[in-house]
Structure 1
Amino acid sequence: MTPLQKLEHRIWQASTPTVWEKVLRVLIAVLRIINRSQIKLFATSLTYGSLLAIVPLLAVLFTLLKSFGIDTFLQKILMEMLAPMGDSGKEVGQYLLQFVNNAQTGLLGGVGMLFLFYSIFTLFRKIEVALNQIWHIHQLRSSKKQLISYLGALMLTVLVGALVIAGNVFFYQKLVQPEGEGNAIIVSLLMWGKRLLSVILTASVLAVVYSSVINTQVRFRAAFSGGLFCALLWLPLTAGFTALIAGSHNYSLIYSSFAGMIILLLWLDILWLLFLSGGLVAYFSQYPALLRAYNSKQLNPAEQEYFANRLLHIIIEHFEQGKGVVKLSQLINCTGLNRQQVLNLLAPFLSNKVIVSVGESHTYLLAMDRQKISDEFICQTIRGQVRGVSHDSMPEHLDNSEDLTYTGRQPE
């Protein structure tokens, strides 16, 4: 093996990985998934969706922030985000601000504004679809729940964004300016504190989006990890893209006035790819067992029976101890399997009413008399040899379920 392969083998096979080995596992897993999955296609789709939604979204943000009297600072943030594009960024920023002003003054008419708000909803829906695919969630919420969730995410984003802007203003006007003629070390420390605060609040904004949009219960710690990943990569990413654009003068020669649009598409695609990568980091933070070396392979029949037995006993233990439902995240972390493997193992027990799924957040509850569930019954269920269970096998709290029968057929 090459030295790089040896290092990778050591990282993945470590029984008690260090913090840095865990971080490297996450980075390697994210890079592999980006190269082998459709995440880049989702980023491209979101890039083109942004072209329709960016003007109405900015118009809404400017309107909301104007009530705080800090809409001018949003203009500065917008120009800073486009700064890596060089001169093209300034040109695109001026056009965007002009379009936003037209949208705010009502020049588009009622139908035009309705279309723009629909484009915002469509963009958020695309974000939800992309993040749900990353989290292996194949069920979308109803349009009503989506609308409420998107509005909540937008309002919380505006609130945290206002805190970011207010924090920057406070640091500059109250701390940095008074010390401007004083100790340079203090000024430097204050500027580092300002950057740290911006990183934390930016990560919080992204955490709100991850928590609100993904159709499952996302722990804030996991969502914040994904947001922090994006916030920390922002500076080196912008520096690298700025250097790339500065060294590529041929864009203007080849594309002429269209160069700004081409560069904007490239920059948006990179930003969306970074955002979706943060969703992957949040996924691995919520389900750390996914980073174990063996969980990516196909389970053989013996492993299926072993893990099915373990899953059922976890659910039974929760039921007997009065803890109620068991979350999917608990089952994943207890077994070390990935999300899809656990769902596949639970499927025959759900179809035969041995357990039931409660609500839309993948929580499970025992639905059969504990005395009827033997290790042999579990193995026969996972082999597909169980057609159902009888009505009197159901616990009293679920006694209204449909009649089922258990064949008891032995393995052939």
Structure 2
Amino acid sequence: MKKLINLLKLAFLKSKSFITYNIWKINLKELSWYKMAPIKLMRTFILAYRGFNEDKVNLRASALTYFSILSVVPIIAMAFGIAKGFGFDDKMRELLQESLKGQEDIAIWLIDFATNMLNSVKGGWIFGIGLVFLFWTIMQVLSNIENAFNGIWQVKHSRVFFRKFSDYFSIMLIAPILILVSSSSQVFIIETVDRISNEIAFIGYVGPIIHFFVKFVPYILVWMLFTFIYMVMPNTKVNFGSALIAGIIAGTVFQVLQWGYIHFQIGVSRYNTIYGSFAALPLFLVWLNYSWLIVLFGAEISFSAQNHHQYEYERDIKNMNLRTKRLTALYILNHIIHNFEAGNAPFTAQAISQNLKLPVKFVRQLIYELIECEVLAETPSKDFKEPAFLPAKSTQTITLHFVIEKLNNFGWDYSFINNNDKLLTAIESRLSAFEKLIEHSDSNELLVNLGTNQEAKHVMA
């Protein structure tokens, strides 16, 4: 028995070591596809789980729940307005009542409130103010959602205003349509198949098969909606494959949650004695919070699926010494400078990460340190999805010593230390003299003169 326990302990320790460390040391390029696939999947979920905790997704979901509650009426009003434009307003009403089954009073109250809001902005001098308030409220919610996604994707800046307007408007237009279609498509297709099967005998034989596959139509449409959100919301380029994987996983879990919520809602009437006509409110808040948790976990999956290969040797990077960090910063800066000198479009952090085969998180950390030191500057990229980077100074002034000095002097100085200490003054004097020697050394070259990666290989050969 003791031997078995020891074997189990050993197996547990080996598994833990593999998941936390060794799995990131595997070079996927050396593996066949059937060996690579499970490693990729494991890395994706490990990274997503870790990001879920590190990015404080619970806190972000709670904040989005709060903002959603504040804007629930304007959002429903906007959804009704769009649905009415396509002739789906009655279906929208049915969908909301179905979602709040057992608490029809709340559904009617929300519908009346949203309808009154729409009617109040139809005419008169208040039209402009009401319409602006409606759009502003929804834009604020979407902006907070974007900030949550940007935090997960480690993007420091939101979209510029005109891109916010165009992207958010497309979301406001597409999301209600997909939700309405997903709720009504199943009934519509089944009714159509039944009608045709009465006229064509062959359809009657395959009708049950069609009915079976039709059950998946709402899932497919929700997958499309989630995939669209995961591609559009972060202010960075998201690969379709990564967004699709996250969309399928999160969309499926969301549909299961929706099913459970609707069926559990019917039994909530037993709490009427405590909450009165608002018995649905606590359950609605729980559902809303879990919905945001699912959406944000899907964002973690999309990030992990796209960037898991950039986390190879991550523990080694965390324990990297200062000299190697400085060396890597110079390596990145050299790459940016030569791209700038060649007259090419400026690189994004994602592009640098791929070109130099460095973890994107580490690249962004070093780049923003160089920006704070005023060695690099941000500029919009071609698609405005994420910032690109250029030298902040003339390339004829950026030497090895210049960059190292900027990085070394970044942050607070030693003013809190006793300036009258003679030993400290002597050490500083020697250090300054040593730095002067480095500055005037023949090895203190301009980065632009060091050449590119290919040129360096040629020289070394």
Q: Paired residue for 1:276?
A: 296
Q: How does 1:11-410 map to 2 (within 5 A)?
A: 11=19, 13-14=22-23, 15=26, 16=28, 18-79=36-97, 82=99, 87-88=102-103, 90-106=104-120, 110=126, 115-158=133-176, 160-161=178-179, 164=182, 167-168=185-186, 171-175=189-193, 178-179=196-197, 186-238=206-258, 251-292=271-312, 294=314, 297-312=318-333, 314-315=335-336, 318=339, 324-334=345-355, 337-347=358-368, 349-350=370-371, 356-359=377-380, 361-365=386-390, 380=404, 384=408, 408=439
Deviation at 1:262, TM superposition (A): 0.8
The residue type paired with residue 223 of structure 2 is A
Deviation at 1:235, TM superposition (A): 3.3
The residue type paired with residue 175 of structure 1 is V
Deviation at 1:237, TM superposition (A): 3.0
Deviation at 1:266, TM superposition (A): 0.7
Q: Deviations over 1:260-282 (max 9, x none)?
A: 11111111111111112222222
CA distance in 1, matches of 2:274, 2:330: 64
Deviation at 1:378, TM superposition (A): 9.3
CA distance in 2, matches of 1:354, 1:48: 40
Gaps of 5+ in 2: 1-8, 29-34, 411-436, 444-461
The residue type paired with residue 387 of structure 2 is H
Structure with max Cα Rg:
2
When residues 113 and 319 of structure 1 are mapped into structure 2, their CA distance, relative to the original with a 3 A threshold, is closer
CA distance in 2, matches of 1:170, 1:249: 31
TM-score by length of 2: 0.67
Q: Deviations over 1:253-307 (max 9, x none)?
A: 5434332111111111111111122222222233233553625835322441453
Deviation at 1:64, TM superposition (A): 1.8
Q: Deviations over 1:63-87 (max 9, x none)?
A: 222232223333344455x36xx63
Q: Which secondary structure does the structure 2 equivalent of 1:264 belong to?
A: helix
Contact 1:349–1:381 (8 Å) recurs in 2: no
Q: How does 1:3-18 map to 2 (within 5 A)?
A: 6-11=14-19, 13-14=22-23, 15=26, 16=28, 18=36
CA distance in 1, matches of 2:323, 2:271: 59
CA distance in 2, matches of 1:65, 1:311: 50
Name whichever of 215-224 and 52-61 sits farther off: 215-224
Q: Which secondary structure does the structure 2 equivalent of 1:60 belong to?
A: helix
Contact 2:374–2:392 (8 Å) recurs in 1: yes
Deviation at 1:49, TM superposition (A): 1.8
Give the total of aligned pairs: 388
When residues 145 and 319 of structure 1 are mapped into structure 2, their CA distance, relative to the original with a 3 A threshold, is closer
Contact 1:55–1:100 (8 Å) recurs in 2: yes
Q: Paired residue for 2:433?
A: none
Name whichever of 323-332 and 111-120 sits farther off: 111-120
When residues 351 and 129 of structure 1 are mapped into structure 2, their CA distance, relative to the original with a 3 A threshold, is closer
TM-score by length of 1: 0.74
Contact 2:352–2:363 (8 Å) recurs in 1: yes
Name whichever of 297-306 and 117-126 sits farther off: 297-306
Name whichever of 50-59 and 208-217 sits farther off: 208-217
The residue type paired with residue 75 of structure 2 is L
When residues 212 and 41 of structure 1 are mapped into structure 2, their CA distance, relative to the original with a 3 A threshold, is same
The residue type paired with residue 308 of structure 1 is A
CA distance in 1, matches of 2:96, 2:357: 43
Contact 1:137–1:215 (8 Å) recurs in 2: yes
Deviation at 1:159, TM superposition (A): 5.1
When residues 334 and 244 of structure 1 are mapped into structure 2, their CA distance, relative to the original with a 3 A threshold, is farther
Name whichever of 183-192 and 254-263 sits farther off: 183-192
CA distance in 1, matches of 2:331, 2:11: 38
Cα RMSD, aligned residues only: 4.3
Contact 1:53–1:116 (8 Å) recurs in 2: no
Q: Which secondary structure does the structure 1 equivalent of 2:51 belong to?
A: helix
CA distance in 2, matches of 1:215, 1:170: 37
Name whichever of 350-359 and 322-331 sits farther off: 350-359
CA distance in 1, matches of 2:136, 2:348: 35
The residue type paired with residue 341 of structure 1 is F
The residue type paired with residue 95 of structure 1 is W
CA distance in 1, matches of 2:368, 2:131: 45
Deviation at 1:21, TM superposition (A): 3.7
